[in-house]
Amino acid sequence: MMAQKLFKTNRFPQLSRWLLASTVTLAGSLLPVAAQAFTLNLLHFSDGESQLLTRSGNVVPATTPPTSFQYGGVGLFADLIDRQRNASSTDFDLLITAGDNFLAGPQFEASLRLPAGQTFYDARALELFNIDVGGIGNHEFDFGPATLARFLDPEGDGTAFRPFVSSNLVIPDDSPLKTLIQPSQIVTKTVNGVQERVGVIGVTTPQLRSISSPENIGTLGDVVGTPGFSVLVSTVQAEVDRLTSQGVDKIVLASHLQNLNEERALAAQLKNVDIIVAAGSDTRLANPEDPVLPLADEARVPSYPLIYNSETGQQVTTLAAAGSAPTLIVSADGEYKYLGNLQVEFTNGSITSILEPGTGPKRNTALDGLAPRADLVSEVQNPVNAFVAELRQAAVGVTNVPLDSVRTNVRARSTLAGSLIADAIRDAAIDGALSVGLDPSKILVGIQNGGGIRNDRRFNPGDTISEFDTFDVLPFSNFVSVVTGITGNELLPILERAVSGQTAPDVGGGGQFLQLSGLEVVYDVTQPAQVVTADGQITAAGARIVSILLDPNNDRTGQLLYDVTQGGFLFDPTAPLFDLATINFTANGGDNFATLANISQDRKFTLSGVTYQQALERYIRQNLGGTIDAVDIPSGEGIRVRSITSAVAPATPGEVVVDVAAVPEPGTIAGIAAALGLGYIKRRQAKKQS
């Protein structure tokens, strides 16, 4: 009766099998039982990220002719899960996902457009996989807590379709997630006539606020290397201690901390945790004999599992060297490419043997005889595939210039694609300004974080850009927003944060690197970078910005705002300069833009219902008349943000650079720059109408 009430078991067809195989109880609802020797078959995956459809790839090293093969997708993955369950001779099967269970994009858009009350396709896949417990990652919050609540509880009655866990999320009492996510869960199954229990605890990255949109959901702790990491350790340890005090002596941690080094540090400090499932980093732990997909860059990271002696905190190479309390770390690559499978034997609550040959990552490919399971195909893949096909047929425009969203480019330097997106966001903000009571003439600058541009796409001259392509490149539910009255004292640290991840000129930036509209920025990577803690505290200001030109026309004319050789700011840095167009993720401090995070909410305005994907689509269709030409993206390649060592020349005397003395209102630059900005937009529209 409890299982039926808590997990809605009447909702899926494999009810009888699930009830016979597993009874999941609330923590502490059973009395402790004597420790038994038994074997655990842990099946784990993470970072599925809405890659629901099977993909086709060519075998690497290349053959002549090329040999293609099918891999990924939830249909094949279900068959792989069934195979590993059936092949195991262990006593206790445990299937968990460790977070990032969906990701914005064309495939997830199919779920978002479902009527209220219908189960998201990603959730339906997890139901049909018959997961025991789910972890919570950062991408679950990309659409805000309300969408995550709909994912977990489509019927809206306060109960999740499966238990989901995270011990360090701070969820307000009035949040719809309050009853849907618990710190931990005890999974109970009958083994040789005895009820055995395994505790599963969750932990979510403390960087959540800077890389997603959790709204009023907080996190405890911080990343390794900061004082707050001890808080994270103590938070998880407290939940471990709570379970062990109830007689649960087998503990699995579903850890979504984005970097395997975080889980390594946890393994060195936690006590009584047997297995850590690391997620968020897509680390492919594997041994030399473990087959991997025959794709480029599918390298193995040794080894599966990693072994730690939890008494000494040291990593060791053998289970024997781990002493009486080993902790194992496992991790598998995401997007339904691999299923991790750890088979171990416990004696008196401690791991005493790793079972071979079953242990290791299992690749998800038809090459190994897998066939898509029919229920996943009919209930998930077919409707999603049909929806995506419709998006592919909807043409937005044609490009006459090369555009790319290659990750290493848009996170390191200004590109044509990134600059076009920033222009589109600024244009959408200008168009919608009056609807939120703002003056469109003051919106002189647009910014787009490189981390929000996805999928490593390249468009060549002559290529058609479809609605699918705009979703593919701009997949998140980011809404166009405006931050008003940006001052010099705010602009400088924002730009310092943008170039803080550079490791060389035009190399190595992170998701915080900004594509710009209306600004030209020169930086020096040899100077100190800004340092920001996970909770948004700037501990080193940074000194990389060399000059800033307010350039509303993107044509290298405008107002010089800041120049190191002239002593820094050329005006009062406390005076408002302009209103800034961006996306709500960045406006609220995403990517750890601490300055933006600390700006009061009464200076932030979000345009309802205008996502950055919609901004780009409309900009191409309406402003550019369906064709993208070089003239539409002035200074867009390698100029708007450039290294001081760049071959691109500075603005020459023949170009108009407005002297600070020419500013008509000493307290503000908005007057002259606004005229430049409106001229830019009007000329762009006139060009396409002629």
| Domain boundaries along the sequence of the chain | 20-385, 395-689
Beginning with the edge strand found earlier in the chain, give each strand of the sheet holding 194-204 in spatial order: 23-25, 184-191, 194-204, 251-256, 275-279, 326-330, 306-309, 314-316
Q: Closest by alpha carbon to 472, among 402, 421, 409?
A: 421
Angle, CA of 41, 77 and 141, to the nearest 5°: 90
Tokens of 574: 């406390």
Distance CA 607, CA 57 (A): 40
Tokens of 236: 């998880």
Pairing of strands 326-330, 338-347: unpaired
Q: Closest by alpha carbon to 637, among 357, 433, 418?
A: 418
For 565, other C-beta atoms within 10 Å of its C-beta total 7
If you average pLDDT over residues 275-294, what whole number do you get? 96
Q: How high is the pLDDT of residue 176?
A: 95
- Backbone φ and ψ for 218, nearest 5 degrees, come out as -110, 175
Place of tokens 């959408």: 428
Q: pTM of the full predicted structure?
A: 0.76
Q: How high is the pLDDT of residue 469?
A: 94
Q: In sequence order, which residues have a C-beta less than 8 Å from that of residue 165 and are 6 or more positions away? A: 133, 134, 135, 136, 181, 182, 183, 184, 185, 200, 201, 202, 254
Q: How high is the pLDDT of residue 681?
A: 41
Q: Does residue 364 carry a pLDDT above 50?
A: yes
In tens, the pLDDT along 407-460 reads: 999 999 999 999 999 999 999 999 999 988 999 999 999 999 999 998 888 999
Fold category of 20-385 in CATH? Purple Acid Phosphatase; chain A, domain 2 (3.60.21)
Q: Closest by alpha carbon to 12, among 99, 133, 149, 126?
A: 126
Q: What are the C-alpha distances in Å from 484 to residues 560, 599, 612?
A: 20, 10, 19
SS3 content of the chain, % helix, strand, coil (to 5): 30, 25, 40
In tens, the pLDDT along 167-195 reads: 999 999 999 999 999 999 999 998 888 88
Q: How high is the pLDDT of residue 5?
A: 30
pLDDT cut 90: percent of the chain above it = 78
In tens, the pLDDT along 121-153 reads: 999 999 999 999 999 999 999 888 999 999 999
In tens, the pLDDT along 37-92 reads: 689 999 999 999 999 999 999 999 999 999 999 999 999 999 999 999 988 777 89
* Distance from chain centroid for Cα 523: 27
Tokens of 98: 């460790």
> What pLDDT band is residue 212 in, cutting at 50, 70 and 90?
confident
Contact status, residue 55 vs residue 295, Cβ threshold 8 Å? no
Distance CA 73, CA 382 (A): 12
In tens, the pLDDT along 488-527 reads: 999 999 999 999 999 999 998 889 999 999 999 999 999 9
Sign of CA dihedral 481, 485, 488, 489: negative
Q: Does residue 165 carry a pLDDT above 80?
A: yes
In CATH, the architecture of 395-689 is Alpha-Beta Complex (3.90)
DSSP single-letter state for residue 377: I
